[in-house]
Chains A and B, each alone.
Chain A
Amino acid sequence: SQQGEEDPQALSIQEGENATMNCSYKTSINNLQWYRQNSGRGLVHLILIRSNEREKHSGRLRVTLDTSKKSSSLLITASRAADTASYFCATAPNTGKLIFGQGTTLQVKP
């Protein structure tokens, strides 16, 4: 069964606003990753947060992880039109391979 569930499924914001996406999962994990996919192309790795970390930053990205609630959030600050894409969380169980969530489609309007 799918490990990660994301919400919202779709998000539309104005350029300059912040975008927040959430990911929930079911089993214990080694790490959680976020990927971006532009227009049905390949995925680009954005950030990895390990199970013993609570928050991580990379440029305009901020990821949090709450293992007690089995959830993560991705915050994109000061969004740009170029951030328009689908965003996927992927969980890495302690044994096994990456499992991708359903994704959030983000539209940033200029």
Chain B
Amino acid sequence: SAVISQKPSRDICQRGTSLTIQCQVDSQVTMMFWYRQQPGQSLTLIATANQGSEATYESGFVIDKFPISRPNLTFSTLTVSNMSPEDSSIYLCSAGTNSFYEQFFGPGTRLTVL
């Protein structure tokens, strides 16, 4: 298993600003993912964070809006850029050994954009 921490746990931001969310895993993992969960909705995969290279984005998500870094096997960041109220969501980091087995989730970052 893996224990995942995220920070900040929540934030209230102004329209047009950017927020960087950090995700730290307590052990080396192969895969790290970023999800968005809009209010009352399910999880939608934003991207797979790849160590030392560009993230792999899902349809509907672009690097300019959600730049992701993963400098090593245990740490990743997601930036939500040029925010609008529609970006208000919970952002979740997860980690696992591969893309379709058990994933361990962080506690999430609750973002409100005014």
Contacts and interface: CB of A to CB of B under 8 A. Distances in A.
A59 interface: no
Contact of B105 (A43, A92, A102): A43
Interface stretch (A60-68, A74-82, A93-101): A93-101
Interface residues of A, number: 23
Interface stretch (B12-20, B38-46, B65-73, B80-88): B38-46
Contacts of A103: 42
Contact of B104 (A2, A30, A45, A101): A45
Contacts, number: 54
A48 interface: yes
Interface string B25-68: 00000000100010001111100100000000000000000000
Nearest to B58: A97
Contacts of B102: 33, 45, 48
27 contacts: A33-B102, A40-B37, A40-B90, A40-B110, A42-B4, A42-B92, A42-B108, A43-B43, A43-B92, A43-B103, A44-B105, A45-B102, A45-B103, A45-B104, A48-B102, A88-B43, A92-B99, A92-B100, A93-B100, A96-B100, A97-B33, A97-B45, A97-B48, A97-B100, A98-B99, A100-B44, A102-B42
